[in-house]
């Protein structure tokens, strides 16, 4: 009962509520953008490889930006960086609304080019917004309430993962590209307004700032000297790199399941439906003990769901498998995120988060490119089954190679067993 009161009391923090709702709006806008980009690129080209190429286009600037983002956040003002990032995303989405939304008549090749430019800008901006959010969380939330805060932010994010794709698919099916692009434009505008109500005191730096290169090296050195964190990040990166099938959903919706943009929106939202249910449960009843072994089992469950999804030809069975994959992924993400925050010193938060975002970007966006390449080489269905099997092998290999990770148990108050 005490844990439940603690998890609900966090919502009384004004700035945490603003951060939560702002993050929901940002993620909803980006998820709607992802669905629209995927369906529009596939509709114009009918090429699964180009779907994967959008992931690589987003990953390259995100990885480059993440090298410096952690240092900038740790030595700067996280709130200012956060507001600037949301503003840049807003300008980018309004640019996509103008061009890809058809407000300006352009040839097909030009629309595709501008979409890829927009994806590039989005990737660069996201590399800064992730560590800024991570650092803001610790300025707002007491350390003892981090597990509950993580669960609430995750449940909010997963709600956005449901709403963004589902609404984008429905609006695209009913009103075309112009109507669909209005949705992320509206959501990112709301996010930008909310950021101006966020008041977070900037913690002054008492020691001399490290040079940029030295700061970056210090962040990587800390990760390399903390094998549990390195194993957590590597496991997530390689498991999702091969196991994620999200990038191929436009082609899957068209070629295998024979559903339109509305079906695509539902498929994109399905993993989040399972994830948000799990995250809400864990937000109200946070885990008292965070065990890495539970994360290994969760990632294995995710891999099994991907194998099943690859074999399915039924829309509803595919939906159920994607929902289950979201449940497993939510448990994995919550454990990883909580362990990262409890095992990382405050002065390293931005850099560790930036490095973690590089692993996440590698798994998601480069994973999208891997999926597109595998689909071209192996075929659409075999590539998804292959990815799920690779995830299972990676989990087994990690469990065997990292006994310290298997034994890691951390109490909610930060005490490590």
pLDDT confidence of residue 388 = 85
Residues 141-169: what's their mean pLDDT? 76
**Neighbour count for residue 14 (Cβ, 10 Å):** 12
DSSP 409: E
Query: What is the dihedral sign for C-alpha 165, 168, 171, 176?
Result: negative
Residue 6 has pLDDT above 50, yes or no: no
| pLDDT (tens digit per residue) in 195-232 | 888 877 655 544 555 566 676 677 777 777 777 777 77
Q: Around 206, how many Cα atoms within 13 Å sit in the side-chain half-sphere?
A: 1
Which strand (E) or helix (H) includes residue 291?
A: strand 289-291
pLDDT confidence of residue 5 = 41
pLDDT confidence of residue 4 = 41
pLDDT confidence of residue 416 = 54
- 262-290 burial, b at 16+ Cβ within 10 Å, e below that, comes to bbbbbbbbbbbbbbbbbbbebbeebbeeb
pLDDT confidence of residue 189 = 94
- Least confident interval from 76-80, 297-301, 314-318: 76-80
Residues 63-75: what's their mean pLDDT? 73
CA–CA distance, 160 with 180 (Å, rounded to integer) = 16
For residue 410, the SS3 value is strand
The fraction of the chain above a pLDDT of 70, given in percent, is 81
- Least confident interval from 105-109, 229-233, 306-310, 317-321: 229-233
pLDDT confidence of residue 339 = 77
pLDDT confidence of residue 349 = 65
247 neighbors 119 (Cβ within 8 angstroms): no
pLDDT band, residue 155 (cuts 50/70/90): confident
Residues 326-332: what's their mean pLDDT? 85
Q: Which tokens go with 192?
A: 């930008």
pLDDT confidence of residue 320 = 93
pLDDT confidence of residue 153 = 81
Residue 56 has pLDDT above 90, yes or no: no
Residues 326-352: what's their mean pLDDT? 76
Any idea which residue has 């996509």 for tokens? 96
pLDDT confidence of residue 91 = 95
Instruction: Write the class of the CATH domain 2-197+224-411.
Output: mainly alpha
- Least confident interval from 48-62, 237-251, 402-416: 402-416
Residue 203 backbone class (left: φ over 0; alpha: ψ -120 to 50; beta: rest): beta
Largest CA distance in the chain: 62
Mean pLDDT for all residues in the chain:
79
pLDDT confidence of residue 266 = 81
Closest to 409 (Cα-Cα) out of 248, 257, 298, 294: 294
Residue 177 backbone class (left: φ over 0; alpha: ψ -120 to 50; beta: rest): alpha
Residue 366 has pLDDT above 60, yes or no: yes
pLDDT confidence of residue 17 = 87
| pLDDT (tens digit per residue) in 84-141 | 999 999 999 999 999 998 888 888 888 999 999 999 999 888 888 877 887 787 778 7
Q: In terms of pLDDT, which residue wins out, 99 or 263?
A: 99
Q: pTM for this one?
A: 0.65
pLDDT confidence of residue 412 = 56
CA–CA distance, 38 with 35 (Å, rounded to integer) = 5
pLDDT band, residue 26 (cuts 50/70/90): very high
Q: Which tokens go with 288?
A: 């008292």
Q: In terms of pLDDT, which residue wins out, 347 or 1?
A: 347
CA–CA distance, 54 with 123 (Å, rounded to integer) = 10
Closest to 197 (Cα-Cα) out of 28, 83, 30: 83
Q: In terms of pLDDT, which residue wins out, 4 or 83?
A: 83
- Least confident interval from 43-47, 81-85, 168-172, 226-230: 226-230
The fraction of the chain above a pLDDT of 90, given in percent, is 15
Residue 234 backbone class (left: φ over 0; alpha: ψ -120 to 50; beta: rest): alpha
């Amino acid at each position: 009962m005490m844990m439940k009161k603690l998890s609900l009391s966090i919502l009384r923090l004004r700035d945490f509520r603003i951060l939560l709702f702002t993050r929901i709006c940002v993620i909803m806008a980006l998820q709607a953008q992802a669905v629209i980009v995927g369906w529009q690129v596939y509709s114009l080209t009918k090429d699964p490889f180009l779907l994967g190429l959008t992931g690589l286009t987003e990953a390259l600037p995100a990885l480059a930006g993440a090298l410096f983002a952690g240092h900038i956040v740790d030595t700067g003002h996280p709130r200012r960086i956060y507001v600037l990032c949301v503003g840049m995303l807003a300008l980018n989405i309004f640019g996509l609304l103008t061009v890809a939304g058809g407000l300006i008549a352009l040839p097909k090749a030009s629309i595709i080019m501008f979409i890829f430019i927009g994806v590039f800008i989005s990737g660069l901006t996201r590399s800064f917004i992730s560590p800024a959010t991570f650092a803001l969380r610790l300025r707002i939330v007491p350390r003892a309430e981090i597990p509950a805060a993580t669960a609430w932010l995750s449940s909010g994010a997963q709600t956005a993962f449901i709403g963004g794709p589902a609404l984008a698919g429905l609006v695209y099916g009913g009103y075309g590209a112009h109507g669909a692009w209005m949705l992320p434009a509206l959501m990112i505008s709301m996010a930008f307004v909310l950021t101006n109500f966020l008041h977070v005191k900037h913690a002054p730096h008492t020691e001399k700032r490290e040079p940029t290169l030295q700061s970056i090296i210090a962040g990587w050195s800390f990760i390399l000297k903390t094998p549990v964190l390195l194993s957590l990040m590597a496991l997530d990166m390689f498991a999702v790199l091969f196991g994620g099938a999200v990038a191929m959903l436009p082609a899957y919706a068209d070629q295998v399941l024979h559903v339109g943009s509305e079906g695509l929106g539902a498929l994109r939202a399905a993993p989040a439906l399972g994830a948000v249910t799990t995250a809400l449960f864990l937000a109200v009843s946070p885990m008292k003990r965070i065990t890495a072994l539970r994360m290994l089992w969760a990632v294995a469950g995710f891999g099994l769901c991907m194998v099943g999804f690859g074999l399915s030809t039924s829309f509803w069975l595919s939906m159920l498998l994607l929902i289950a994959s979201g449940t497993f992924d939510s448990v994995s993400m919550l454990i990883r995120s909580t362990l990262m925050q409890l095992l990382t010193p405050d002065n390293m938060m931005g850099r560790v988060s930036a490095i973690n975002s590089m692993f996440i970007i590698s798994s998601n966006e480069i994973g999208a490119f891997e999926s597109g390449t595998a689909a071209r080489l192996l075929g659409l269905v075999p590539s998804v089954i292959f990815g799920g099997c690779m995830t299972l092998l990676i989990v087994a290999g990690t469990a065997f190679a990292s006994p310290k990770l298997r034994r890691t148990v951390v109490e909610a108050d930060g005490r490590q067993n």
